Amino acid sequence: MQIQIVYWLVITLMIVGVVGAVIPALPGSSLILIAIIAWGFIKGSFDAISTPLIVTVIVLLLSVGVDFLGGYIGAKKAGASNWGQIGALVGLVLGFFGLLPALPFGGPLIGMLFGPLLGAIIGEYLYQKDFGIAVKAGVGIIVGSLLGNLIQGLLALAAVIVFIITTWSQVYGG
Least confident among 12-21, 89-98, 114-123, 159-168: 89-98
Closest listed residue to residue 120, CA positions, set 103, 101, 134: 134
Residue 106, pLDDT score: 56
The confidence band for 99, taking pLDDT boundaries of 50, 70 and 90, is low
Contact 75, 139 (CB under 8 A): no
57-80 mean pLDDT: 74
Q: pTM for the whole thing?
A: 0.73
Virtual torsion, Cα 78, 79, 81, 84, nearest 10 deg: -30
Does 6 or 106 have the greater pLDDT score? 6
Contact 151, 66 (CB under 8 A): yes
Closest listed residue to residue 10, CA positions, set 44, 34, 28, 26: 34
Write the DSSP symbol of residue 105.
S
Would you say the C-alpha torsion 145, 148, 150, 155 has a positive or negative sign?
negative
Q: How many CB atoms lie within 10 A of CB 39?
A: 26
Residue 157, pLDDT score: 92
Phi-psi region of 80 (alpha: psi -120 to 50; beta: other; left: phi over 0): beta
Write the DSSP symbol of residue 48.
T
| Domain hosting residue 163, numbered range | 2-172
Residue 108, pLDDT score: 61
The confidence band for 103, taking pLDDT boundaries of 50, 70 and 90, is very low
For residue 18, pLDDT over 60 is answered with yes
Least confident among 29-33, 46-50, 158-162: 46-50
Q: What total of structural domains would you count in the chain?
A: 1
